[in-house]
């Protein structure tokens, strides 16, 4: 997928607005105004508003799984270390691509757009397969216990990290962290999430249930 400067600019703007106001809550004129382009350019470049969303998904999803796959091929790490790398990888994704993952979290709830929903499913499958392999590795060496419910564990990873990252404003308010500078706050929740999830995974993977 090769996109020019202007197309990327439209996608960036759309991403931010979709995350804040939702897909239906954002008009093409909102996007055009914010991106300082003419409304017609959206149809011209992407065909339609819906196809803009599809392109956005395709662009952001590109290379995501491959990178994780290659990271986990490292043979110097033991299975638990790899699990920890994976956890940090997801947290980092959610944090750095916050807008995109807000859209993703919303799109997963409603199954309106067939194309995007199929893309989501595809990536969820790949992720789960990858994690399954990883856990299998640890089970072979005896480091991980048998009978690990991988789908449920993935749900906890994505559910916990995704929920916190997509609703940080509530976390801030509820825990009275409104005054904290955002940079510091991001570091805080990243650290908290990381150790929390690593503990949960270790407990699930190494203890008998």
Partner DNA sequence: AAAAGTTAAACAAATGTTTGATTAATATTA
Partner DNA sequence: TAATATTAATCAAACATTTGTTTAACTTTT
- The verdict on 164 binding a second copy (CB under 8 A) reads yes
With binding defined as CB under 7 A, does residue 41 bind DNA? yes
Nearer to DNA, 45 or 185 (CB): 45
22 binds a second copy (CB under 8 A): yes
Q: How far apart are CA 161 and CA 91, in angstroms?
A: 6
- For a second copy, the binding residue among 6, 67, 187, 192 (CB under 8 A) is 192
d(CA 113, CA 195): 36
Q: With respect to DNA, which residue has the nearer C-beta, 51 or 202?
A: 51
Query: Which of the listed partners (DNA, a second copy, none) does 60 bind, with a CB threshold of 5 to 8 Å by partner kind?
Result: none
The dihedral through the CA atoms of 62, 103, 182, 71 has a sign that is: negative
Which one, of 78, 163, 157, 30, lies nearest residue 148 by Cα? 157
Residue with tokens 């929740």: 189
Told to check if 76 binds a second copy by CB under 8 A, we report no
Unique residue bearing structure tokens 């994690």: 131
Please state the closest distance from residue 9 (CB atom) to a second copy, in A: 22
Please name the residue ranges forming H helices in 36-149. 40-46, 49-61, 64-72, 79-96, 98-109, 114-140
The two three-digit tokens of residue 189, written as one number: 């929740």
- The separation between CA 6 and the C-alpha centre of its own chain, rounded to angstroms, equals 25
Q: State the minimum distance, in angstroms, from the CB of residue 32 to DNA.
A: 8
CA dihedral 170, 175, 180, 186 (to 10 degrees): -60
Residue 72: CB minimum distance to a second copy, A: 20
Q: Determine, following the binding rule CB under 7 A, whether residue 12 of this chain makes contact with DNA.
A: no
Q: Provide the CB-side half-sphere exposure for 22 (13 A, CA).
A: 7
By CB under 7 A, residue 85 contacts DNA: no
Question: CB under 5 to 8 A by kind: which of a second copy, DNA, none does 41 bind?
Answer: DNA
Is the Cβ of residue 56 or residue 83 nearer to DNA in the bound state?
Answer: 56
Is 29 near DNA (CB under 7 A)?
A: yes
In the complex, which residues of this chain contact a second copy (CB under 8 A)?
19-25, 102, 105-106, 108-112, 120-121, 124-125, 128, 149, 151-153, 155-156, 158-164, 166-167, 169-171, 173-175, 192-193, 195-196, 199-200, 203-204, 207, 209
């Amino acid at each position: 997928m090769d996109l020019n400067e202007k197309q990327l600019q439209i996608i960036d703007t759309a991403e931010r607005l979709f995350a804040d106001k939702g897909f239906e809550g954002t008009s093409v004129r909102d996007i055009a105004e914010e991106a300082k382009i003419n409304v017609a350019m959206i149809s011209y470049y992407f065909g339609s508003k819906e196809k803009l969303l599809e392109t956005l998904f395709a662009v952001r999803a590109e290379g995501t799984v491959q990178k994780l796959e290659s990271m986990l091929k490292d043979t110097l790490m033991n299975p638990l270390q790899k699990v920890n790398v994976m956890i940090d990888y997801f947290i980092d994704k959610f944090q750095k691509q916050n807008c995109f993952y807000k859209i993703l979290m919303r799109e997963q709830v409603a199954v309106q757009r067939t194309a995007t929903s199929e893309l989501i499913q595809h990536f969820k499958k790949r992720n789960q397969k990858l994690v399954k392999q990883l856990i299998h590795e640890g089970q072979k060496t005896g480091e991980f216990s048998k009978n690990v419910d991988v789908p449920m564990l993935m749900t906890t990873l994505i559910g916990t990290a995704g929920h916190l990252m997509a609703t940080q404003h509530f976390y801030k308010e509820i825990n009275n962290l409104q005054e904290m500078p955002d940079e510091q706050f991001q570091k805080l929740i990243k650290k908290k999430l990381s150790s929390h999830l690593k503990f949960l995974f270790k407990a699930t993977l190494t203890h008998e249930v």
